[in-house]
Amino acid sequence: MPTPTRDYLCGYDCPEGWRAIVEPVLDKLEAMPDVTIAQVKQKFGGLRIYVGLARRDWKSHPAMKLIAEAVELCARTCESCGGAGRSEQTTWGGLRTLCANCHAKLARERA
């Protein structure tokens, strides 16, 4: 397993294939003074970025738009290789977002 680049988070569990999408978003979130990144992970085949926002109108906060865009992009990106993927049920790891190649490869490895 590669070393997470953001160990300061209590939970940083970003799949390899999504890092190119997620890392720039985290850079931007970190630059926002009223945003605290709490956790990053894959859940039910989708990207989750949990943040703390020091304001009430969080729904209109630019951080939410950034996160929504990343989530949308990851939903179409293989979490293993970064290629074009789609969300699907696997026999070994629940819902995952994968391309056909990675799905077949992981299925073989985990069989």
Q: Which of 20, 48, 22, 43 is nearest to 96 (CA)?
A: 43
Candidates 35-43, 59-67, 88-96, 102-110 — which segment interacts with Zn ion by CB under 5 A? 102-110
Distances (CA, A) of 1 to 15, 49, 70, 73: 10, 21, 23, 23
Which of residues 63, 67, 74, 102 is near Zn ion by CB under 5 A?
102
Tell me how far, at minimum, the Cβ of 95 lies from Zn ion, in Å.
Answer: 15
Q: In sequence order, which ranges of the chain are alpha helices (DSSP H)?
A: 19-30, 62-74, 100-110
Candidates 1-9, 27-35, 39-47, 93-101 — which segment interacts with Zn ion by CB under 5 A? 93-101
Residue 66: CB atoms within 10 Å: 19
Conformational region of residue 55, where left means phi above 0, alpha means psi within -120 to 50, and beta covers everything else: beta
Is residue 51 part of the contact set for Zn ion (CB under 5 A)? no
Of the two residues 31 and 111, which places its CB atom closer to Zn ion in the complex? Answer: 111
Is residue 74 part of the contact set for Zn ion (CB under 5 A)? no
Is residue 21 part of the contact set for Zn ion (CB under 5 A)? no
Is residue 99 part of the contact set for Zn ion (CB under 5 A)? yes
Is residue 78 part of the contact set for Zn ion (CB under 5 A)? yes
Applying CB under 5 A, which residues contact Zn ion? 78, 80-81, 83, 99, 102
